[in-house]
């Protein structure tokens, strides 16, 4: 009698729809791969033939381009994966922006602002790292890991998926361990994003396998829509 136990409030169904989008772990796998690629980008640093400031500017701009195309590729790959693997098992749901008090204008502005946010995020993370390194203060990687863990907590609250809280804790732990080991500069940053990427991908991968097992495909010959 699950039907009668379910809450009826639209907010509950909006949360369920969000949860449905994230529960299969596909987004996490791709985000993790993105973080690992970024870590790889940080390890392949440009030869310092120019001034230090110019080098940072070049790196940030290159990373922004990588992030922008990453977002486009991310959307394409995730939709294809969901269409072929997730939707036939658990169904397709589209979120209603009006019900979440989000106007089309807000959405367009948010999408347009995404590359700007990406650049700001990169500048802040590199700036914080540079500043702490200059001041010879330890703990910068812990701060950065908190910045990476923060979206995971927001998502966990939005979707109600507890594994995302654990993920945030894991990211903080990586930051803490790297801080203890006194890893600084690009190596530390690359390790932080690299390990975080592995952790996020792993979490998504496990969730994905469990999801496939829990939701087998419909038996051949049986109409998915009950001959509606």
Partner 1 sequence: MAISEAASALLAVDRVIHEPARLVLLSILYAVESADFVYLANETGLTKGNLSSHLLRLEQAGYITLNKTYRGKIPLTICQITTEGSAAFETYLKAVGQFLETLEQ
| Residues making contact with partner 1 (CB under 8 A) | 2-4, 6, 8-14, 16-17, 20, 83, 87-97, 99, 215, 218, 223-228
* Nearest-approach distance from CB 19 to partner 1, in angstroms: 11
> CB atoms < 10 A from the CB of 185, how many?
14
* Closest to partner 1 by CB, 135 or 228: 228
Please, what is the minimum distance in Å from the beta carbon of residue 170 to partner 1?
29
Task: Count other C-beta atoms under 10 Å from residue 57's C-beta.
Answer: 13
**Least Cβ distance, residue 211 to partner 1 (angstroms):** 12
Q: Which is nearer to partner 1, 43 or 110 (CB)?
A: 110
Nearer to partner 1, 88 or 121 (CB): 88
Cα(81)–Cα(26) distance, integer angstroms: 8
Instruction: Decide whether 9 or 134 has the Cβ nearer to partner 1.
Output: 9
What are the backbone angles phi and psi of residue 191, rounded to the nearest 5°?
-65, -40
3-state SS, one letter per residue, for 173-224: HHHHHHHHCCCCHHHHHHHHHHHHHHHHHHHHHHHHHHHHHHCCCCCCCCCC
Task: State in angstroms the smallest separation of the CB of 5 from partner 1.
Answer: 9
């Amino acid at each position: 009698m699950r039907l009668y136990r379910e809450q009826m409030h639209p907010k509950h169904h909006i949360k369920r729809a969000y949860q449905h989008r994230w529960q299969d772990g596909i987004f996490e796998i791709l985000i993790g791969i993105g973080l690992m690629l970024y870590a790889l980008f940080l390890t392949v640093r440009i030869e310092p033939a120019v001034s230090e400031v110019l080098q940072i500017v070049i790196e940030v701009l290159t990373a922004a381009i990588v992030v922008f195309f990453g977002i486009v590729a991310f959307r394409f790959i995730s939709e294809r994966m969901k269409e072929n693997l997730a939707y036939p098992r658990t169904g397709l749901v589209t979120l209603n922006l009006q019900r979440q008090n989000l106007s089309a204008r807000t959405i367009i502005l948010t999408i347009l602002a995404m590359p700007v946010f990406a650049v700001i995020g990169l500048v802040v993370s590199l700036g914080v790292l540079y500043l702490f390194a200059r001041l010879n203060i330890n703990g910068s990687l812990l701060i950065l890991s908190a910045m990476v863990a923060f979206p995971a907590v927001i998502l966990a609250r939005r979707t109600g998926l507890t594994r995302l809280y654990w993920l945030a804790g894991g990211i903080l732990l990586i930051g803490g361990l790297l801080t203890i080991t006194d890893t600084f500069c690009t190596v530390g940053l690359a390790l932080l994003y690299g390990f975080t990427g592995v952790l996020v991908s792993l979490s998504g991968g496990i969730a994905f396998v469990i999801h496939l097992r829990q939701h087998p495909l419909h038996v051949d010959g049986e109409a998915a829509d009950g001959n509606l």
